[in-house]
Amino acid sequence: MAPKLVFRQSSLLVALLLLAGKASVLFLPRQAFLGILVFVACGLLRLPFTTGWWCLFLVSLWQGRGGPRFRDADSDIGKQAMMLEGMACCCGVTTSLGFYGAQFLAPSFFPAILRSFVLTPAERYLGPVLAKPLLKWSETSSFKAFARFGDCLMHLVPTTTAVILFFPSVTFGSALASLPMNLVWLAATGNLSLSATNGLYGLEPPLAPHVLRFLYGIHWLLCGALCCLLPLAELVSPK
């Protein structure tokens, strides 16, 4: 398929989903807008989506006093904290699913992330004295193991923690608020094409279109499924 056609299809898909996202925003309670603002700010600053999730996670921990499993049952934390907790849980699951699923579909993804966020900045800012040993170390198995350990601390451990802490706060409203977040972030960067993700993350080689569709689509699939299943669960649950 010609690159221009792929770009047009991708831009059209994002535009349609953004319209759906805007429609969902009309039905959101005002407590969700702090979470939306976090991703808009990170998009405007061209920070990674994971950075937006980390900010949301930390704000949720602060406002919610550690989550519903640890605070007192009669604790009055407010609806905004519970909304942010639910959004942090939903977006945390999709962040990990997207990140590790993309690595399964494109094994070059993780090395490209390391080059873009670790090796290239080190070469640029540390100078040859410090950068040369690091670049040499990056070719060894010990560096790869250390990188995987850092990856777990950045993605797997915190997102799993968010699920454990915040899952009781997941509601239809928080799932609906989470639904357009990855495209809200993308639009805030000034882009309407999924392929722009490659440039935003500095990925070389770039991710193929089907990997990008998975990366964004898994978020919409999970949040959309929660939007459908949570009201049904509430209907069938005993009063």
pLDDT tops 60 at residue 109:
yes
Which is more confidently placed, 69 or 156?
156
User: What CA–CA distance (Å, rounded) separates 155 from 99?
Assistant: 8
What is the percent of the chain with per-residue pLDDT over 70, rounded to a whole number?
Answer: 82
State yes or no: cis peptide before 209, omega within 30 of 0.
Answer: no
What pLDDT does residue 216 have? 96
For residue 14, CA distances in Å to 11, 74, 208 come to 5, 43, 16
pLDDT digits (tens, 9 = 90+) for 119-134: 999 888 888 888 888 8
DSSP count for the chain of H helices, then E strands: 13, 0
Contact predicate 169/71, CB 8 Å: no
Q: Check residue 23 and report its DSSP letter.
A: H
What pLDDT does residue 147 have? 95
156 three-state secondary structure:
helix
User: Where in the chain are the domains?
Assistant: 20-236
Q: Which two tokens stand for residue 65?
A: 């006093």
What pLDDT does residue 32 have? 83
State yes or no: cis peptide before 231, omega within 30 of 0.
Answer: no
What pLDDT does residue 15 have? 52
Q: Which of 190, 169, 185, 148 is nearest to 53 (CA)?
A: 185
Instruction: Give this prediction's pTM.
Output: 0.84
